[in-house]
Structure 1
Amino acid sequence: MSKALIPTYDICSLAMGMPASEDILVARFSDYLAAHRDIHFPHRHSFYHLAFFTAGGGSHTIDFERFPVKAGQLYFMVPGQVHSWFFEGNIEGYVMNVSAGFFNAFLQDPAYVERFPFFSGVSAEGVVQLPKAAVPAVMALFESMLKEMAGTAIYSLDMLRLLVLEMFIQVSRGNRKELAKQEPPHNYVLLRNFRKLVDQHYMQLRLPKEYAALLYVTPNYLNAFCRHMLGKSAGEIIRDRILLEAKRLLINVDMTIAAIAYQLNFADNSYFTKFFKKYAGVTPEEFRKNIS
């Protein structure tokens, strides 16, 4: 595959011969891999993507962070994340592709799914190792989803919505850290809103005080809050988002370093190179060479 462009897949393009749906696909992982043999190369999705491994090994890279694949592991990815994998042994498990709007027929809050901690868009937070005792229940839910996908029973999409939400809730209940259990709900709302604002405005707004104003809190409060929730300052979170986008753009070899610096709103190419090397440890050119 040429790295001139990272492919972005929609659900219909990965339909595997099933009835085309713009909203959901559930399949066994071995069938999914057999139908899409080149999909291990770096790519993005326009939908939420979930991989659940029950056997096999190897590695899975999400936004340039590599994770070892283990049985009982789930990977939750949000639209736009770049990922690739290298598997070892016979991979078994399940895969789910689901659109952001799939639940809108059920839920009044269109952002409901974003409340789950594994859909933060931060790679490490989207990797969940299930306790061994929890694996059979999650497998049973996936098996029920496969039956609904294959059948033509009335209300099959509604039943799928229920099964998917039940799985999200069970996984979330079983894998929240003890500290997270003690946090009041409004803290998660503030954190989610801050991350969403950063994702929307990181090219233009670079200072914590600019986001604090949008959130109606003081800069000192925002920094203290981020350190409490994530162990990082607000400035680090903004910086990390800029760095992530720079890495995503550097995969596209049709863009010059100068063009990337301009797109990310750096004053000049030299400033961008200094920024990237300081926080990534290599120059943009070296990073591009290492991933080619």
Structure 2
Amino acid sequence: MNLHEDLKTDTRVFMPGTVEKDINNFNVFHVKHNNDERFNCKPFNRKALYKISLLKGKTKLYYADKTIEFDCALLFSNPNIPYSWEHLESDQTAYFCVFTEDFFNPFMNNFKEYPVFRPGSVPLYHLDPEQFDSFKDIFDQMLHEITLEFNYKYDTLRTLVLQLIFKALKLEPAAYQQYKDSNGSQRIVSIFLELLERQFPIESTMQRMELKHPTEFANQLSIHVNHLNHVMKSVTEKTTSQVISERIMQEARSLLQHTNWNISEIAWSLGFEDLSHFINFFKKNQQLTPKIYRKNII
């Protein structure tokens, strides 16, 4: 079962004053299995979703080049850090709440600054049975609240999400061990490529690459940029910058061929602040300017 489904739209009619956009910016789920149909989690690929997961049952979490095994834990996920998990036993209970950045804007613009969502940490908290029950109570309140026709229910839900965050911040985050079940360098490269590829295809002039430089990718992976460069070279025989440049060029050629966007729009979407930098970059890699390339393929 893939739990990373779209946020389902609640179609009930609400009283005047309800912030209707919140209907599409928050949801909460409860899943319980006690058979062999385990709901393993594939790498998280929804671009704009934050997620808080309460998990019970023997589970292995894969996070960058790290792995953690646990029986009961709380996990925080942000849309820039890919992860996955697998359940090791069939008896599983899980609660999830998912929300977009817009869910807290403009009420609270700095929620991403809490340590549970910042890159560089392992956002997993081991729980004992009493702690699990206390977090479960909050999720149960969410599940009840979201069914109500109450004008301020999403304000209540925002408060409950913050309760989860603040309770977690009082706990000690889980220690991790280096991933030993497969090649750690291969995993870093795989997740780097997923982070890179997640930014494509670019489908609108309003869409823009957010990660473009090796240091930015290293920060997302919680590793030093020198380590990222080393493993990229050892696994792909290419530098990190070379891999990024090749993917940007692939997208640039596609946009020049298949859209009528002007070259400035394409440059901006690909993360270039200055048009001349994009033209020089393209010419260096294609031996043609973007304008001549587009003219030749039409």
Task: Give the shorter-chain TM-score range.
Answer: 0.5 to 0.7
User: Residue 127 of structure 1 aligns with which residue?
Assistant: 124
Structure 2 residue matching 1:106: 3-state secondary structure: coil
C-alpha spacing 1:146/1:239, structure 2 compared with 1 (3 Å): farther
Partners of 1:242 and 1:101 lie apart in 2 by 34
User: Residue 142 of structure 1 aligns with which residue?
Assistant: 139
Counterpart residue identity of residue 203, structure 1: H
Question: Which of 170, 183, 205 is residue 167 of structure 2 equivalent to?
Answer: 170
Partners of 2:116 and 2:215 lie apart in 1 by 26
Structure 2 residue matching 1:69: 3-state secondary structure: strand
User: Residue 84 of structure 2 aligns with which residue?
Assistant: 84
Aligned-residue CA RMSD (Å) = 4.3
User: Residue 216 of structure 1 aligns with which residue?
Assistant: none
Query: Which structure would you say has the larger Rg?
Result: 2
**CA contact 2:214–2:240 (8 Å) conserved in 1:** no
* Deviations, residues 214-238 of structure 1 (Å, cap 9, x unaligned): xxxxxxxxxxxxxxxxxx9xxx633
* Deviations, residues 131-172 of structure 1 (Å, cap 9, x unaligned): 544332211111101111222222111110011112211111
Identity %: 17
Counterpart residue identity of residue 29, structure 1: V
Offset at residue 58 of structure 1 (A): 2.6
User: Residue 277 of structure 1 aligns with which residue?
Assistant: none
Partners of 1:86 and 1:75 lie apart in 2 by 14
Question: Which of 262, 266, 277 is residue 242 of structure 2 equivalent to?
Answer: 262
Equivalences for residues 2-81 of structure 1 within 5 A: 11-12=6-7, 15=8, 21-30=23-32, 40-45=41-46, 46-53=48-55, 55-71=56-72, 73-81=73-81
Partners of 1:121 and 1:205 lie apart in 2 by 13
C-alpha spacing 1:237/1:114, structure 2 compared with 1 (3 Å): farther
Question: Which of 209, 212, 226 is residue 239 of structure 1 equivalent to?
Answer: 226
TM-score (norm 2): 0.52
Partners of 1:38 and 1:141 lie apart in 2 by 22
C-alpha spacing 1:241/1:141, structure 2 compared with 1 (3 Å): farther
Counterpart residue identity of residue 27, structure 2: L
User: Residue 154 of structure 1 aligns with which residue?
Assistant: 151
Structure 1 residue matching 2:112: 3-state secondary structure: helix
C-alpha spacing 1:115/1:127, structure 2 compared with 1 (3 Å): same
C-alpha spacing 1:81/1:176, structure 2 compared with 1 (3 Å): closer
Counterpart residue identity of residue 48, structure 1: Y
Counterpart residue identity of residue 135, structure 2: V
Counterpart residue identity of residue 224, structure 2: I
**CA contact 2:43–2:82 (8 Å) conserved in 1:** yes
Structure 2 residue matching 1:154: 3-state secondary structure: coil
User: Residue 95 of structure 2 aligns with which residue?
Assistant: 94
TM-score (norm 1): 0.53
C-alpha spacing 1:39/1:11, structure 2 compared with 1 (3 Å): farther
C-alpha spacing 1:257/1:79, structure 2 compared with 1 (3 Å): farther
C-alpha spacing 1:205/1:265, structure 2 compared with 1 (3 Å): farther
Structure with the larger helix share = 1
Structure 1 residue matching 2:122: 3-state secondary structure: helix
Partners of 2:158 and 2:63 lie apart in 1 by 26
C-alpha spacing 1:176/1:43, structure 2 compared with 1 (3 Å): closer
Partners of 2:53 and 2:230 lie apart in 1 by 26
**CA contact 1:51–1:75 (8 Å) conserved in 2:** yes
C-alpha spacing 1:159/1:259, structure 2 compared with 1 (3 Å): same
Offset at residue 48 of structure 1 (A): 0.9
Unaligned runs of 5+ in 2: 12-21, 175-208, 217-221, 247-298
C-alpha spacing 1:205/1:168, structure 2 compared with 1 (3 Å): closer
**CA contact 1:44–1:81 (8 Å) conserved in 2:** no
Unaligned runs of 5+ in 1: 1-6, 178-198, 207-231, 251-255, 267-292
